[in-house]
Amino acid sequence: MRVCVAGAAGAFGQKHLDAISKIEGVQVTSIVGREAESTKAAAEVRGIGHWTLDLAESLSRDDVDSVILSTPTQMHAAQAIQCLQAGKHVLVEIPMADNLADSRRLVAVQQETGLVAMAGHVRRFNPSHQWIHNKIKAGELSLQQLDVQTYFFRRTNTNALGKPRSWTDHLLWHHACHTVDLFQYQTGATAAQVYGLQGPHHPELGIALDMSIGMKAPSGALCTLSLSFNNDGPLGTFFRYICDNGTYIARYDDLVDGYENPIDLSDVAISNNGIELIDREFFSAIQEGREPNSSVAQCLPAMETLDRIEKCFID
């Protein structure tokens, strides 16, 4: 399996390159970037034979079977469609698009081509959330409320590596997308009710730096989500699962109960790295000719729910 990684010099592009290096039978044959110096350096460090600033150049190569897109959010839908129309399977980082219309168009193109198109909803793959999902499916847990905090300190346009960004991130279509999809995945249904509130727009970034989102599943389970780019403290996303049979707190790849006792996740998956697990699913689905978990079609309901939440905002 030969893959191109676009956005390879960025924070998540590097995570995917690290993950791929642990997967047998997969070779990165091309990378795409926005700046020549950093892209060339990324290729040289890892011994990747081809680099370019033009995605179309990589898509024209015979030694590229699939593409992982870790590019700016605003480019995701158009680039994913470009990959599919070039005959390449594609894994596009979350979100698949920053609006519902483009999300639906991407799903339609995937269905037309029959190729694998997967969205990077990594929470489905983190062992902590997999453990909860398995318990719910087995009837051992019933979710009452999912309480989530997504907190960063990002009042300037910088990425996860602290470097200047050429594009603007978004709390709703990027960060809330993780939790909206996860809640619907864990409850097995699209949210029956939603609400959304946002704070004032930042004068320079042009986006709201604070949001409050609520969802209710048909089962009655609730999700309460708080998001902020104004948080000057511990950063990241923290998930509290309040269930009928215990409370559990997930912090990325770790899981504890309500009293901070660790939960053993060693037998959940082959790795405790969610990025590696999502990449493994992508390549396995291609090789096996099947729809992957987190296909763009499976994730479309999350984009529809985000659209409903956005309509709640009153500036």
Mean pLDDT of 148-159: 81
What is the enclosing helix (H) or strand (E) of 69?
A: strand 66-69
Tell me how crowded residue 120 is: count the other CB atoms within 10 A of its CB: 28
pLDDT tens, residue by residue, 193-208: 999 999 999 888 888 9
End-to-end C-alpha distance for the chain, whole angstroms? 47
Query: Can you give the pLDDT at residue 168?
Result: 65
Model confidence at 55: pLDDT above 90: yes
Omega cis (within 30) before 203: no
- Whether 90 contacts 97, CB under 8 Å: no
Mean pLDDT of 27-42: 96
Q: Is the pTM of this model over 0.75?
A: yes
Query: Can you give the pLDDT at residue 4?
Result: 98
Mean pLDDT of 151-170: 70
Q: Grade residue 167 by pLDDT with cuts at 50, 70 and 90.
A: low
- Residue owning tokens 């990027």: 174
Tokens representing 120 are 């990077």
pLDDT tens, residue by residue, 66-86: 999 999 999 999 999 999 999
Name 240's Cβ contacts closer than 8 Å, sequence gap at least 6: 146, 147, 148, 247, 248, 249
Model confidence at 217: pLDDT above 60: yes
Tell me the Cα Rg of the chain.
19
Model confidence at 129: pLDDT above 60: yes
Rounded distance between C-alpha atoms, residue 4 and residue 50, angstroms: 9
Taking CA atoms, 4 is separated from 47, 51, 56, 57, in Å, by 13, 9, 11, 11
Rounded distance between C-alpha atoms, residue 217 and residue 207, angstroms: 28
Q: Choose among 44, 53, 302: nearest CA to 179.
A: 302
pLDDT tens, residue by residue, 280-298: 999 999 999 999 999 999 9
pLDDT tens, residue by residue, 173-193: 999 999 999 999 999 999 999
Tokens representing 88 are 């390449």
Q: Choose among 28, 27, 79, 32: nearest CA to 52.
A: 32
